[in-house]
Homo-oligomer: A and B are copies of this chain.
Amino acid sequence: MTLTAAPETTSAYDLGSARALACRECRHEIPLAAEFACPRCFGPLEVAYEFPTVTRASIEAGPKSIWRYKDLLPVPSTVEQHANTEPGLTRLIEADNLARALGVRKIWIKDDTGNPTHSFKDRVVAVALAAARELGFSVLCCPSTGNLANAVAAAAARAGWDSVVLIPSSLEQAKIVTTAVYGGTLLAVDGNYDDVNRLATELAAEHEDWAFVNVNVRPYYAEGSKTLGYEVAEQLGWRLPQQVVVPVASGSQLTKIDKGFTELGTLGLVEPTPYTVFGAQATGCSPVARAFEAGHDVIQPQKPDTIARSLAIGNPADGPYVLDSVRRTGGSVGHVSDSEVVAGIRLLARTEGVFAETAGGVTIATTKKLLEAGALDPDAETVLMITGDGLKTLDAVSGEVGPTATVPSTSAAVREALANRG
């Protein structure tokens, strides 16, 4: 079966321009539904579209959130009329100080810490919730230890839905609070994160009204990351950057940014200029980077051991597709040590006033490393994805930064301290 087969709109659902779910492996298509695996080959399903005519003007006249791109997402046409967190349209800032520090001609920072719960997860969860409502679900669920748990609990609260968030019972109190405060059902599960994940898959099969955003509605959820690509292009004045560096956890975000760029070109919203996609991982969880280095197509799972916990997925579902994107566009996947991650966080904060979580440190440090290795072109305009907030991973830097000096409460003491700064 090929993509040129006449599309049939058998769906009873209003999911905008989404017309089917297509297997990424065998390209078999099934009608839109809460499915994530191909019934023929068990490959991952992805949303296929039949896009309407979309213009720059129609997008620019839309809401100041990801819903300005609703015609390109698997969501009902009335999506913005339901209470939602209104994520997206976060800042894209010219990072000239960072560019100078790294010796790059032009760098832009896509600062997704400005989202409602301060990570890009608000984007994917908002799309998952909108699709889940149309598909007949009424409870929003996920297994997570951090950003995703925050985003799901907040989005459900705002929508008036119940939520069920599963976390390992060993999670620190501070991380529990940031989800529990939204008042949904928060279950601390005795077991490690793998146990929690297995339990989520089991529960998704048992509860027909439970939408696990990253399990049974994953194909819709994942599409939310395309909006990062759309926004970058729009904010650059409707054009594609030459290079983009994206942190890799499951790998979904990187592949969807790539997909977003490609779609904009196909739709005539931007010139389809060439771009190169780079992936960034922490050495302590670098299965995709290692496969890239070894020239493999298959990902060898790794037991994560890194401070970049939001990227700590040892067996990334979209790893092979990350390799495809990166190889197709002439990029690569790098990895950095935990101490480089901390240095990356500090460099970004010092140069641009953006305080990123550990994943952001991974992106900055990997960019530096890829430049040094000659993989990244210092003369090409480069966008770096900062997808989460430093306030959520304070531990990473708390031993590293502190007051310049402690002084008595006199101006003479201040002058002396400043003179001694060197």
Contacts and interface: CB of A to CB of B under 8 A. Distances in A.
A187 B407 contact: yes
Interface in A217-231: none
* Chain copies in complex: 2
Contact of A417 (B93, B187, B206): B187
Interface string A87-99: 0010101101100
A407 B180 contact: no
Interface string A383-404: 0000001111010011001111
Given A64-B64, A198-B409, A187 B404 contact: yes
Name the residue in A202, A353, A404 with the highest tally of chain B Cβ atoms < 10 Å from its Cβ. A353
Contact of A401 (B91, B118, B181, B350): B181
A206 B409 CA distance: 15
B155 A394 contact: no
Nearest to A199: B409
Contacts of A202: 411
A274 interface: no
Contacts of A401: 176-177, 180-181, 183
B96 A409 contact: no
A55 interface: no
B405 A187 contact: yes
A345 B116 contact: no
A201 to B, nearest CB: 10
A355 B154 contact: yes
Contacts of A93: 83, 86, 158
Given A176-B402, A418-B185, A157 B346 contact: no
Contact of A181 (B97, B178, B182, B397): B397
Interface stretch (A167-175, A287-295, A300-308, A326-334): A167-175
Contacts of A198: 409
A354 interface: yes
Given A158-B351, A199-B410, 8 more contacts: A157-B353, A177-B398, A177-B401, A185-B404, A187-B404, A188-B406, A195-B409, A196-B409
